[in-house]
Amino acid sequence: MYKYGNLSEGVCKPGYAAAKMTAIYPMFAKPAPMFLDPNFRRFSKISNFFSPFGIKTQEKIIDNILTATKSYGLGEELDSQSCKKCIIMGNGGILANKSMGVKIDEYDVIARLNEAPVSGYEKDVGSKTTMRITYPEGAIQKTERYEQGSLFVLSAFKALDFKWLRSIIFKERLNIPTLGTVAITMALHNCDEVAVAGFGYDMSTPHAPLHYYEKIRMAAIKESWTHNISKEKEFLIKLVKAGVIQDLTNGICGSGC
C-alpha cells in the first residue's frame, strides 16, 4: 500500500509506481540505472542474462563504447528532480484525434519510440521529447528528424545491437518484448509516476490504423513473429488494474479495467 506523499491531483507522488508494482510483483527492486555507465558491473545480475534482459557476453564491447561517452543521465535539471512524472508514448492509432498534446506535454519525462513523428501531430501527441528509445532497425535515419535537445536511447535486443552502437560512435562500417514494454519497465525503475498513451491493439477492428502517423492497418500486427502480443497485453492489463501505470488513451484494456 502506498503510504507516502501528497495524493492531490497533479502533484507528483514520490515512489508511487514502485510501491504499486511491488504490491503485485514483490521481487521488483526499484534501484536500477536508467542508462549504463562505466560502473555498470556493480549491478552484477545484468551479466547473467542475454539482451534485452541483460548484457551477458557483451561486457567488453560495452566497456569500449563507454570510453567514448561522457554523460549517463537525463541532464542536470531532471537528474536533480526529487520526483518525476513520466509518460511512455506508444505509436498506436488510438492517439489520433484525441487532442491530448497539451496534457502529454505536462509530464517531466516524455519518452517516444522508434521513428514516431512529432512534427505535424503536436495536437494529439504533444511537442516535447525527453528521449527517443529505439533499436537499430527502428532508428530514424535522417538526423534532422531528431528533436533538438532530446536524448537518443538504444534498447539493445541482441548482441549485434551493441556492435551497431559502437559503429555509430566510432564511425565504423558494419558489412525483440516490444520496445514499449521495455520502456515502461525502465520507467518503473526510474520514475515516481508512470503513464502511457497510444498503447493497445484492438484486433476486433482489423481495418483501423495501427499507428497514428501511417496507413498500415491493425491486421498487420498478426504477422509479427518477434512479439508475443497476447502475453504482453496480459502484463500491461495487470499493471493498469493494479494502478501501477495510468493509461491515458484507455487502449490497453478498453472498458475492461
pLDDT at 175: 47
**Does residue 74 lie in a domain region?**
no
Q: What would the 3-class secondary structure string for 146-174 be?
A: CCCCCEEEECCCCHHHHHHHHHHHCCCCC
Specify whether the CB–CB gap between 118 and 125 falls below 8 A: yes
Q: Would you say residue 61 lies in a domain?
A: no
- As for how many domains the chain has, the answer is 1
Contact partners, residue 243, CB within 8 Å, separation at least 6: 20
Average confidence (pLDDT) over 93-112: 96
Residue 205 has pLDDT above 80, yes or no: no
Q: Is residue 41 part of a domain?
A: no
Measured CA angle at 128 (ends 132, 235), to 5 deg: 55
- Is residue 72 in a domain? no
Region of residue 200 (phi > 0: left; psi between -120 and 50: alpha; otherwise: beta): left
**Residue 208's pLDDT band (boundaries 50, 70, 90)?**
confident
The candidate with the shortest Cα–Cα distance to 220, out of 85, 121, 91, 60, is 91
Q: What is the C-alpha to C-alpha distance for residues 157 and 181, in angstroms, rounded to an integer?
A: 13
What is the pTM for the complete model shown? 0.78
Residue 47 included in any domain: no
Q: Average pLDDT, whole number, for the chain?
A: 82
What pLDDT was estimated at residue 224?
53
Q: Count each helix (H run) and each strand (E run) in the chain, helices first.
A: 8, 6
For residue 225, the model assigns a pLDDT of 41
10 in any annotated domain? no
Domain containing 117 equals 16-33+83-256
Count the neighbouring beta carbons within 10 Å of the beta carbon of residue 165.
18
Strands 109-113 and 246-247: unpaired
In a domain, 157, yes or no: yes
Q: Contact 198/212 with Cβ under 8 angstroms? A: yes
Domain at 238, CATH number: 3.90.1480.20
Q: Which strand (E) or helix (H) includes residue 229?
A: helix 229-241
Q: What is the DSSP string of 52-93?
A: TS--TT-HHHHHHHHTT----SS-HHHHT-SS-EEEEE--BG
Cell of 149: 535537445
Q: What is the pLDDT of residues 137-192, one digit of tens each?
A: 555 555 666 667 777 676 666 666 776 677 767 776 554 577 898 899 999 999 99
Q: Could you tell me if residue 155 is inside a domain? A: yes
Grid cell listed for 215: 496507413
Q: What is the pLDDT of residues 8-40, one digit of tens each?
A: 567 899 999 999 999 999 988 766 778 888 888
